Structure 1
């Protein structure tokens, strides 16, 4: 079944030393794009997380936010006063060369790199926890994508049924349309009957009928509909294939309109293109 590329997931796992939270936001994209926001202390895990995402997802722009919260009872955070003093001394030197230096607060100093010292957790243990949290959040995202994809599949199926009804309408009326066209040609040429070669006239009418014959287009439309249903039932990502099939459907609908001999087939061609465009908009969300 298809999976949507638009989804959201958030997951938090508690550990003895604290907790890790991961938030994933996914939107449409032609390829898989991953953008990370995470503390520097776990930046080393980024490549491994990218690979994990690549194994689970094929398309979509993925915004990933990772945050760490340490238990206060386990030491929490502290400040490196020596580093802070160095920053403060440098700031005072710069301020001495300025006419109206802005006042400096303790909170400003705490924001400078290296001043805040986070609780020390073994690197391998921390990275393993990050991977575990990320993997669990990705599974939640996939589940959300699947639920959205199921709804998209239902909407697409409704349009496929409507297209099938339009094709059946053309098939049922096509013999009558062709017969009316023959009668119209005979009526127009009746006054010239004495001057025309009857055999040549019949040949020309056969040529016109062949040009107006849309059985081939109707058969190809049926084939594409069957292939779309097959792609929707496939467990593998099918968004690109479905997008291609929309192009093929649209091409056949245009051909049907160009061969139109009656207002009915013209209306059907227009209706088909409307339904195809509605499906195409939904398929843009499918992985």
Structure 2
């Protein structure tokens, strides 16, 4: 399965003899699939079908779905809104009672009041409504295809960046693995020096049991075997997820947190300048990788 970004945009147009419409779909990052649907009044029955169609092809992201419609004015009928007209006439009568000398308004002035005239949409029977709904949904499907295609294109680009970053993490992990300071002889020499310094600090009266405890503590602190093993395992897991594809953003984000935890522990255990530098480089690459992962579905 292909990787998909959560960002994208698509537009699709449709028309009949009397209507033209435009679907616009905008998608950005989100923790789950959040659909915000904006459709004209009277089409509310379409919303469940819109959600069902989006749910088939999208897994995550905040998606705004808008439908704009324009009817051919030649199909619309001009009519008087009697309620609005009665309100205007009642106001005129009230003003005439209060201001007897007020000149009566002209017919043009009355009819020009907002709401007195209105355009009425032609009524459609059930068959016509079904045909329109099907046409609207067909156009929505076309927009969804374009949106998914754009998200996949961006997903491939993001995947390529993450591949490079995970290879860099693997290289840094291997560099820590083969660091001269981690070789047994180097660890032994460093430990011997630290013990010697402890003895000198104690004026030769350092307790043997305390010395043993300090030696164990220093040896434990110098051992980053578990951290390196887990880093290698996380690298393998990320590679497998990238090769599998699909909606893997959540799992990659969890692994990025685990990477960061191991890098922090490696830095805290480090008693070597070169190992500390590797740990800091790891943290930098991991942060960059996590930024990319946030965009994946």
Name the TM-score class by shorter chain.
0.7 to 0.9
Deviation at residue 15 of structure 1 after TM alignment: 3.9
Q: Aligned partners of 1:110, 1:275: CA distance in 2, in Å?
A: 67
C-alpha distance in 1 between matches for 2:144 and 2:152? 12
1:96, CA displacement in angstroms?
A: 6.6
> Aligned-pair distance for 1:17?
4.7
Task: Answer whether contact 2:199 2:206 (CA < 8 A) is retained.
Answer: no
Between the aligned partners of 2:35 and 2:116, the Cα distance in structure 1 is 30
> In the aligned structure 2, how far is the partner of 1:222 from the partner of 1:107?
76
CA distance in 2, matches of 1:107, 1:144: 48
When normalised by structure 2's length, the TM-score is 0.80
Alignment deviations for residues 130-185 of structure 1 (CA, whole Å, 9 cap, x no partner): 11111111111011001111111111122212212211221111216524422422
**C-alpha distance 29-94 of structure 1, shift in aligned 2 (>3 A):** farther
Larger Rg: 2
The 1:31/1:189 distance shift into structure 2, 3 A limit, reads closer
In structure 1, stretches of 5+ residues that fail to align are none
Q: Shift in Å at residue 280 of structure 1?
A: 1.3
Q: Which residue of 2 aligns with 1:281?
A: 291
- Structure 1 residue 203 displacement after superposition: 7.4
Q: State the distance in 1 between where 2:187 and 2:90 align.
A: 94
2:182 equivalent to 1:184: no
The reply to whether residue 86 of structure 1 matches residue 87 of structure 2 is no
Change (3 A) 1:223 1:111: farther
Contact 2:7-2:29 at 8 Å conserved across structures? yes
Could you say what the CA RMSD is over the residues aligned between the two structures, in angstroms?
A: 3.1
Is it true that 1:77 corresponds to 2:75 in the alignment?
yes
Runs of 4+ in 1 over 6 A off after TM superposition: 95-99, 196-200
Partner of 1:117: 121
Distance in 2, matches of 1:284 and 1:250, equals 15
Counterpart selection for 2:142 from 118, 136, 145: 136
Q: What is the TM-score of this pair, normalised by structure 1?
A: 0.83
Give CA deviations for 1:172-228 in whole Å, capped at 9, x if unaligned: 112165244224225425757976788986775355223321111011011111111
CA contact (8 A) 1:182 1:205 kept: yes
How far apart, CA to CA, are the structure 2 residues paired with 1:21 and 1:199? 81
Q: Provide structure 2 residue ranges, at least 5 long, that are not aligned to the other structure.
A: 99-108
State the distance in 1 between where 2:225 and 2:113 align.
Answer: 77
Are the aligned partners of 2:4 and 2:246 in contact in 1 as well (CA < 8 Å)?
A: no
